[in-house]
Amino acid sequence: MRKVAFVGLFLAAASPVSGQAGTAAAGGGELVDRVVAVVGDTVLLLSDIQTELRRVESAGQLPAEGPAREQFAVGILESKVSDLMLVVAARRDGITVPEEQLTEQVDAQFRQLEQSFGSPAALDAAFVAEGITRDMYRQTLREQARDRQLVQAYLQGRLGNRARPVIDEEDIAAYFEARRGLAGERPATVSFQQVVVSAEPSAEARAAAVAEAEQVLRELSEGGDFEVLARRFSDDPGSAEHGGDLGWFRTGRMVPEFERAAFSLRPGQTSGLVESDFGFHIIRLDRSRGAERQARHILITPEVSEADIARARVRADSIATAVRGGANVLELAQSYNTDQDPPSADRYPVDRLMPQYVAPLNAAAVGDVVGPIELEDPNGTRFAIVKVSAKAPAGAFTLDDVRDQLRETLQEEAMMASLLEELREEVYVSVTM
């Protein structure tokens, strides 16, 4: 009975007429905030549970009155306790998060919020309507970000090297059946192999680009402002207007040539000319933290003429003829494809294809060779020769579609459950029911 009464207190606080903790309860008393659980040296308050219940209710996800609603509230409590155990364990193990990293994340979140509300003033008005201040919300976001990163680092260290448990096919099938329909409808997909031919600049255009890039380097060496020069000279539309700023990135995010150069620099250093498929880069490393780097670049792209495009089109036509005659697509792709053009795609959603692909691939049958398809985007002009290897219409997901994902999910759930059991032996937990 005590558990039910406690749950009732949760739910009363979450109802639309209850307001904040401290408003009148059904019996005429006051709902006073109190400790509902202690995890290590951290307390979980009744108001923490109430806040989550109100959020779920406002989203229309709180079950109707009855046992399901009560169980939902208990589930929130248990989830909060589990989260706290992970945070406490991370702190116990000496894991920390750099304060500047948190500041950057929170600042980015506030910029997104201000954009979504239209202006900083509109966001502040929303805060006033909710009875909070910008600083209060900032602190909340900061604490949430810190806890997320603490847990992420802790789990990576604690679970990263564990052997994944074996999951029976029967368990996967049962998990699928219990959640059938929750994933929505499977989109139409297509599998294909492709050769992509890029229009390459002439030797004269490359020489002109090198000369321009070397002029920029000279201006930098003479004290020129990198950000000003990036806005003036860079051909990268995504970063030029921001002074060449690329933000933070890890390995695997940039083309190999750029990445090798960026990760070889020390903060404040500027590279020489770095050539990639995009052109000639001048890179300045601004900051580094662990495996991440923050850099700016100036990109000088050799100009591609109409004659260069015409030569690429002729080359693509000849490759398309060869593929229709039985030539190996993947072998040809090794010679022509760049990093941004994968040689193949397996069960790729049709609605995520580049627009130029959609109509010809929808009309093609399995085994057809399509193209050359002309592609025009910030990467330049390219021609794709595509061989369709499989197609699947939209429809309900089958077990075969999601078996691997479900196996991974069940493995992760089992590993997490095992870890939480271990932590209950390592971390003090007291729940007041």
Q: What is the pLDDT of residue 339?
A: 67
Q: Cα(first)–Cα(last) distance of the chain, in Å?
A: 10
- In this structure, the number of other CB atoms found within 10 A of the CB of residue 189 comes to 19
| Burial class, 60, CB count within 10 angstroms (exposed 0-12 / middle 13-18 / buried 19+) | exposed
Per-residue pLDDT at 216: 94
Question: Which tokens belong to 276?
Answer: 């990639």
What is the model's pLDDT at position 20?
A: 38
For the chain, give the percent of residues with pLDDT over 70: 91
With 0-12 / 13-18 / 19 or more C-beta atoms within 10 angstroms meaning exposed / middle / buried, residue 269 is exposed
How far apart are the C-alpha atoms of 375 and 377, rounded to whole Å?
Answer: 7
Burial environment of residue 90 by CB neighbours within 10 A (0 to 12, 13 to 18, 19 or more): buried
Q: Is 322 helix (H, G, I), strand (E, B) or coil?
A: helix
pLDDT in tens, the chain (433 residues): 234 344 444 444 444 333 333 443 434 444 567 888 888 888 888 888 888 877 877 777 777 777 777 788 788 888 888 989 999 999 999 999 888 888 888 888 888 888 888 888 888 888 888 888 888 989 989 998 999 999 999 998 888 888 899 999 999 999 998 888 776 788 899 999 999 998 888 899 999 999 999 999 999 999 999 999 999 999 988 888 889 998 888 888 888 899 999 999 999 999 999 998 888 999 999 998 878 889 999 999 998 889 999 999 999 999 999 999 999 999 998 888 876 788 988 888 988 888 999 999 999 999 999 989 998 876 678 899 999 999 988 888 888 888 899 999 999 999 999 999 999 888 888 887 6
CA distance 280 to 276: 6
Ordered alpha helix ranges (H), 179-237: 203-221, 226-233
Q: Give the model confidence (pLDDT) of 341-356 as tens digits.
A: 889 888 889 888 889 9
Domains, the chain, in order of start with CATH, read 2-160+427-431 (1.10.4030.10), 189-200+305-396 (3.10.50.40), 203-300 (3.10.50.40)
- Considering the entire predicted model, what is its pTM? 0.58
Contact call for residues 187 and 394 (beta carbons, < 8 A): yes
Which amino acid is residue 52, in one-letter code?
A: E
